[in-house]
Amino acid sequence: MSCCAADAAAAARPANLAVSKEELLLASRDLGDGLRQVDLAVPEMHCADCIRKVERGLAALPGVTHARVNLSTRRASVKWNGDVPPLIEALDGLGYAAHLFDADAEDGDPQLARLLRALAVAGFSAMNIMLLSVSVWSGADAGTRQAFYWISAVLALPALLYSGQVFFRSAWSALRHGRSNMDVPISIGVLLAFGMSVYDTYHNEAHAYFDAAISLLFFLLIGRVFDHMMRDKARQAVSGLVRLAPRGATVLRADGGRDYLPLAEIEPGMTLIVAAGDRVPVDGSVVAGVSELDCSVVSGESLPQPVGIGSELKAGMLNLTGGLTVKATARSSDSFLAEMVRLMEVAEGGKARYRQLADRAAQLYSPVIHATALLAFLGWLWATGDWHQSISIAIAVLIITCPCALGLAVPIVQVVAARRLFENGIMVKDGAAMERMAEIDTVAFDKTGTLTLGQLRLENGEAVDPFAAAMAATLAATSNHPVSRAIATHFGSRPSGLSFTKVSEIPGCGIEAEADDGAVYRLGRADWATSAASPGPEAGTVLGRDGSALARFTFRDDLRPDAATTINALRTDGLATLILSGDQPPAVANVAGELGIDDYAACVLPAGKLARVATLTAAGHKVLMVGDGLNDAPVLAAAHVSMAPATAADIGRNAADFVFLRSSLRAVPLAFSISREAGRLIRQNFGLAILYNLIALPIAIAGFVTPLIASLAMSLSSIVVVANALRLRADNAGRRDAAEKKAAAAPAVKRTAVAAPGAR
């Protein structure tokens, strides 16, 4: 497919909104020492070649010290010293429209809707023209044939004028800027075929080639639509992370007054009010109040964490139970969330440079087609002097060597593979990810919510005294805390024989209730529910009466179904496995022991996960990262390829290349198996496309192929490529069954309980 699709809408784009140097200066950020940075949206970038042209063009401007492009977000980040350089004008001179980047205004690929409409028009025209062509081929007389050809011309014209714009404008823009791309031979072939067909129809010749011209547009648009859909999915990760941050925060003034300020106006030292149910807006420390925070999307902790005066908070944490007064320690631009955005943008910028096989091959394809067709035309014109025959042969060369099969080689396999994955509950969000998935040799797992379900379950309920169980169930029913829900779910509704005059939930501690006999019952943290000196977090959740422990409760976060089978299957495929978790060492060690994974790390912060994957990558390994949560988003984006469960945080799902919808981890080896098979078929398709051209091109140059036969041969090559891709369904079904049987036969690791650390 076309590499420089940035040209595809260059001629049709609306006039650039004028952006003055003053506006650029106001929109830029002062980095100190006279260095400034601004972000520009360049929506027409589509490939690695576009990245190279934009970065080189911007870097060549006076004063520019750095220019970097993120293809997923269509953003160019530029740094400069001194006067504001003419950035917008330079990009316009390269053929790319640009404007100031606004994360809130970015809403997907603006060309996708136009491509879908163009595909629909081309498909309708091609279908009806082909029906008329069948009638002509069946032996229509001269008058009927001419009438059918004129009807075909009328049907082809709207497809040519509307659907052909995608290629014509791209070709014209490329030629206007002194370069060529894959759309140039496509446009020449289509226009010459249509023009010759009109000429031959007017003179009632035996052959016209409207079907060849419009079918060519239709097949190529299929591949281009798929490519745009895949790339559009990749743009949502950073925007999803930005939306996770609150728009503002309530600031407590020195005189007791309260103001709601936008996030950008929050300064270090300000006192903020964070109510229960709100996310922490910026990094800070607690100066008043106690509560519990859901830190799972930030640190990977599987349980809500108690906080009190002096506790350090990170932007993005969710306040669960009590109001907090927080002193801001960083601006929003320096907060944890902002760091996650920067980490993801760096990771995505690197991954966006990955070039698909079709793009690499297409770079060499265009000049070869042009030169061959031109030489064929000149050679036949010199040999025969017949311009009509010479043009017909040149058209046949352009059509028969059309990159249709080459353009379909990658996306058609990806479509079939994506369908196969979807049938098994796996969504693929980046077509190139399947190529990368087939290359992995290491799989890194997060723990909470990935290897485990992220749902607490009471482990020792059968050992609890019935009276204590009834009391615990009664108290737990008054709270929505995850620990309380686990107790209430396990024991259900049990009469305790006591009534309570007062029940209250103390954030960060637990539930306290006074019975009608005067006894005080507490369900929660051991060091609060009992009078024991420093029982430690390993004591878990305790039910106490007047300071004495009545029962202790331990919980576990169950492994996902088939987790052990999954690990065995990955080992059978020769893949190394490891765990990178932000959870506490005991919980991580238990899971690693249960699954037989020797390589694991606990209490790993997001930057630490990113560093570990970077170390593995530097050592030559290609890592699949499987994780969920905000803390995993940077490493998901930086890994060679990534997966996340559907239960992951929004940003985790958006950053991942694959999302599996079912609870079973068998999606991981299945995605690897299908991707590896898809890679094999892609290579076969490239081989078939190249072999087809090596055979067909000499025949066309020799004059034995008319444009009609060329279009049939071109269609046949596409059909062969599609048929080969469809083998993925049958072949992979057998391979998967064999792999599952092999994995099931492997020695199973011992199953043990996964104990959760102390709860409240």
* Residue 163 DSSP symbol: I
Q: Position 348: which residue type?
A: E
- Please report the DSSP string for 177-223 in residue order: TT---THHHHHHHHHHHHHHHHHHHHTT-S---HHHHHHHHHHHHHH
Average pLDDT of span 181-203:
83
Q: pTM of the full predicted structure?
A: 0.57
**For the CA atoms of 329, 333, 338, 343, what is the dihedral angle to 10 degrees?**
-120
pLDDT for 249 equals 85
The CATH code belonging to domain 5-106 is: 3.30.70.100
Tell me: the pLDDT tens digits for 78-130? 889 888 888 888 888 887 888 887 655 445 556 778 888 999 999 999 889 88
Tell me: the pLDDT tens digits for 570-628? 999 999 999 998 777 877 888 999 899 999 998 887 888 889 999 999 999 999 999 87
Residue in 49, 109, 211, 446 annotated catalytic: 446
pLDDT for 14 equals 39
**In three state form, how does the secondary structure of 596-633 look?**
CCCCEECCCCHHHHHHHHHHHHHCCCCEEEECCCHHHH
State the average pLDDT for the chain. Answer: 78
Q: Where are the domains of the chain?
A: 5-106, 110-234, 246-334, 425-453+559-672, 460-553
Q: Which two tokens stand for residue 645?
A: 């469960």
> What CATH class is the domain 425-453+559-672?
alpha beta
Buried b or exposed e, range 209-230, using 16+ CB within 10 angstroms = bbbbbbbbbbbbbbbbbbbbbb
Superfamily of domain 460-553: Calcium-transporting ATPase, cytoplasmic domain N (3.40.1110.10)
Decide if 278 is catalytic.
no
pLDDT tops 80 at residue 709: no
Among residues 529, 524, 555, 508, which one has the least CA distance to residue 319? 508
Residues in CB range of 747: below 8 A, 6 or more apart:
568
Among residues 446, 447, 443, which one has the least CA distance to residue 622? 443
Measured between alpha carbons, how far is 205 from 202 in angstroms, rounded to an integer? 8
Q: Cβ-count burial of 139 within 10 angstroms (0-12 exposed, 13-18 middle, 19+ buried)?
A: exposed
CA angle 281, 630, 273 (to 5 degrees): 15
pLDDT for 5 equals 39
Average pLDDT of span 641-669:
78
Q: Cβ-count burial of 104 within 10 angstroms (0-12 exposed, 13-18 middle, 19+ buried)?
A: exposed
pLDDT for 33 equals 75
pLDDT for 627 equals 86
**Cβ distance 484 to 573 under 8 Å?**
no
> What CATH class is the domain 246-334?
mainly beta
Q: Position 159: which residue type?
A: A
